[in-house]
Chains A and B, each alone.
Chain A
């Protein structure tokens, strides 16, 4: 199996030994290179996801989707990006200009921060703390503030209502999201993202413990709510709140929310793929060594993207199938059903781990 740390070690040796730089300068250059790579991957994946969403949505509604710009419409999103970049950025009268400008950055920081924790390949982890999973939930909670400040800073009552709704919903669903991640920590015995992937060497997490399936499903539901999508998109609610908290944004201010929304979808799918479906770990069945060796020939990055985009597709399927829920239904679902169920499942998973 290809180990990406060969490349990173070669680059490190190139800077420190061949070019003879001190550790300060080599670390600085490496950080800048990694940062540029993250942001490029972020933008490219967002473009791919936006195009995928349009096509998936179109086929679910028996349409063709964008077809005019380029063959099969593949340059449509690039045209949209150029349009968004050259739009005029305006500010609202009597709005809090500072908060209005800061809010998109908070959302994008939370999104890029969680994005950096995804394991791309063996040896290709960008952020890999010993508190990895806990850190992911911590950083993702900043996004709520961005949504809320956007609503407040816009001086628009629809935006404030939408921001309230969005914040309440995201805070509620963080609870069962965190419990799902804790259940995975119980099974794997580590919080480090690379450790969680390594612990699934013999079998993916959903095959290790039968109750993890329920945790996986709850993770998908609450992750969908956390990313403000699918049947839970009542923070945006185009038809009743005219796009909600980002009504008053134009140009790249709006672009940041748009980017963060799609990337949160990818981040949730990526975390679900990492924690429950083994991340870059190929499909291993203990005992069948020749089968495992064949599976190892497929590179880890292909496995990771395959699983992540499979989960993305599942979430898009849900989004274009179900109608939007009301706010009381959403809160009832979380506080009365999902969270108690998840607590029960956590007890069951722990009991299973202790007995088997």
Chain B
């Protein structure tokens, strides 16, 4: 069940969740599912020709992990907006931690919504992979 209105507190969120270590197989599986076949995420020679030390994850993979982490909390049917900025790249072997906090609660009488700050952190480097915001309705 998704979280109830009274349980949502500005500045708080659900328990963070760790994923990984991410593998090349995870990248390929996401590319097959999404239809984004940019070879920079699976072809080592292509990635090297672009000046990278090797293949790296698809940004939309960690965005998708973060998105479903959020819907686990507030419900798949309740999402109304999900927006991310891609910061650091994610590399094979990285562990990721997803977290979310309530930024603002809105109750205009007709509809109740929450705005969230959402984040994907790279465990090993401590860097930020994704910073974003999301809006959910809360029945």
Tell me whether A and B are bound partners: no
